[in-house]
Amino acid sequence: MSETAPDCIFCKIVAGEVPADVLGRNDHAVSIKDLNPQAPFHALVISADHHDNAAASAAADPASVGHLVSLADEVAKASGNDDYRLIANTGAGAGQTVFHTHLHVLGGSSRMTETLV
Ligand code: AMP
Ligand code: ZN
């Protein structure tokens, strides 16, 4: 069963109601290019079902987050980025602006070697 939220931009992208540059998909997620890239390669992996964040998706279905990571790995490698960084902003205080589960997949930047953690 698919869960959606009205007026959610990522639900609309998953449904094909808002155009996006699609890089790949599986049964659980869609990957698109980020509209405002922060690295030479910047994809989003958006969950098919609407949950506010990755933790909420994991609580609803632990395997769902694994499917997001698998698609992230696929699109990164398909674009030649064997090394990449995954980010899941969780909460406005961490910079989250779209409250529908998504991973940022970043690659190709010299800034990738800076360590945040
Ligand atoms: P976050 O700040 O972690 O919630 O990330 C939301 C991301 O979605 C930002 O990097 C935006 O640039 C991106 N974004 C928002 N709307 C769109 C859209 N219609 N197509 C592609 N990326 C988008
Ligand atoms: Zn949504």
Residue 84: give its domain's CATH number.
Answer: 3.30.428.10
71 within a domain of the structure (yes/no): yes
Instruction: Tell me what pLDDT residue 58 has.
Output: 97
Enclosing domain of residue 49: 9-107
Closest CA to 75 of 15, 33, 112, 36: 33
Looking at the structure of the chain, the number of domains it has is 1
pLDDT above 70 (res 2): no
| Widest Cα–Cα separation across the chain | 41
Q: What is the pLDDT of residues 70-91, one digit of tens each?
A: 999 999 999 999 999 999 999 9
112 within a domain of the structure (yes/no): no
pLDDT above 80 (res 117): no
Beta carbons of 109 and 40 less than 8 angstroms apart: yes
Residue 102 a catalytic site member: yes
Ligand number nearest CA of 104 is 1
3-state helix, strand, coil in the chain (%, to 5): 30, 20, 45
Strand order in the sheet with 41-47: 22-25, 29-33, 41-47, 102-107, 85-87
48 within a domain of the structure (yes/no): yes
**Cβ(97) to ligand 1 under 6 A?**
yes
Q: Which of 51, 100, 102, 104 is catalytic?
A: 102
**Cβ(86) to ligand 1 under 6 A?**
no
